[in-house]
Structure 1
Amino acid sequence: MGKDIAFARAAGVALLAATSLSGCVAATLVGGALATTGVSVAQERSTRQALTDTEIQLTINNKFLNEDYGLFADISTEVVEGRVLLTGSVPRQEESIRAAELVWSTPDVTELVNEITVEEDPGLMSYGSDLWISTQLRAEILADTQISGVNYNVETVNGVVHVIGVARNAAELSRVLNLASRIDGVKEVVSHVLTKHDARRAVG
């Protein structure tokens, strides 16, 4: 990923970087716990699981930062009930493999969905378009009264939309995926969503 794109993504996670460098991850978790607890009341996952997911995400990002700033800047991490989704673009396959190794070395990870692409330099325009797609989809999901928006996370890479979360039912999930497919610039929609009663869901 180009330097401009890496800078743009890094700016979005600057607070996490500062936290990681200072070694105060535990303090961040305390602050994040307050926000997570409030949101999780409306989520399908439990408050305990939401807090565990936050800890997993912070730990993975901290590992990426300590391993290689490029991993931290180029890869996005989403965690839902111990299931980790990695998206982004890296210049070499070895970096994707190393990112996966770091994820699996993190406690409480139950599944890894590695959607990292290997691409020398996707360009700043592509990143801007992806960000705009994700922003529009998040807004539409939250605005739709037939969708429990807090249960879904969205990432877009090169026009491919990745959705992860917990759907209340198949109809709701279908509605989310339909919203995504109708947005200009979307090339493909990939669902990593489990429904509420799926036996694969973590309990806790």
Structure 2
Amino acid sequence: MTFSRRPHQWRDGERRRTVGRWIRLFSLVGVAVASAGASGCAPLVIGGAAGTAVVASEHRGLKGFASDTDIRAQINHLWLQHSLSLANRIGLTVDHGRVLLTGRAADAQMRLDAVRLAWQADGVKEVINEIQVDNESGILDSARDTWISTQLRTKITFDGDIHSQNYSIDTINGVVYLMGTATTQDEMDRVVQHARSVPNVQRVVNYVRLLSSL
């Protein structure tokens, strides 16, 4: 009687390929989440498996996260091709295909170009234009805005009644822009309340949607 090891070898090979695919997926998602966190748009998470866990806990899930990441990459590419200055000055947040544009444009034409190019990306459902035409703000203004966003991110992260991973925060000239998905109206109200409580906040603009409305 002879014994063949082929089935066992095939299972080992298939197992290695499957593990390899998951490792690559975890690594890619982990890098994407870490990059988003560094820009202030999402919590900073280092590590592939941890990054995947955070993304999976978002209301949009892995598929929605991947779609929004692709839209963001397309728009950034279009902006870079058009103008390095535009890409550096304009902020970008994507949630469920909705694109929020913020930042300080050098002039009205740059503002128009940013919106026009954003609409060219595949998968875009809506473009919200909150770009300010401002060529006078300096490093101190940017530092103050970053401080405001950091303070607010800290507040909602340590609030046990808020799923902070579902919110994006951007601050321009003291105006806080919120985007994302709230589990309940009470949760949304808590986030807005936290934003208004941060010193130097001039105004809060809320583009957060309720999960029940999606």
Equivalent residue for 1:3?
none
Whole-angstrom distance in 1 between the partners of 2:198 and 2:165: 20
**Kept in 1: contact 2:26–2:52 (CA 8 A):** no
Report the CA distance between 1:125 and its aligned residue: 1.0
TM-score by length of 1: 0.80
Report the CA distance between 1:31 and its aligned residue: 4.7
Unaligned runs of 5+ in 1: 1-28
Residue 40 (structure 2) pairs with residue 44 (structure 1): no
Compare CA radii of gyration and give the structure with the larger one: 2
Report the CA distance between 1:72 and its aligned residue: 0.8
Equivalent residue for 2:144?
129
String of CA shifts for 1:30-64, please: whole Å, max 9, x gaps. Answer: 85435564322211112101110011111111211
Residue 23 (structure 2) pairs with residue 33 (structure 1): no
Equivalent residue for 2:175?
160
Equivalent residue for 2:40?
none
Residue type of the alignment partner of 1:43 = E
Whole-angstrom distance in 2 between the partners of 1:39 and 1:99: 30
Equivalent residue for 1:67?
82
**Kept in 1: contact 2:75–2:121 (CA 8 A):** yes
Residue 75 (structure 2) pairs with residue 79 (structure 1): no
Whole-angstrom distance in 2 between the partners of 1:133 and 1:31: 31
CA RMSD of aligned residues (A): 1.7
Equivalent residue for 1:197?
212
Whole-angstrom distance in 1 between the partners of 2:88 and 2:26: 24
When the two structures are aligned, how many residues end up with a matched partner?
Answer: 172
Report the CA distance between 1:66 and its aligned residue: 1.3
Equivalent residue for 2:199?
184
TM-score by length of 2: 0.77
Find runs of 4+ consecutive structure 1 residues off by over 4 angstroms: none
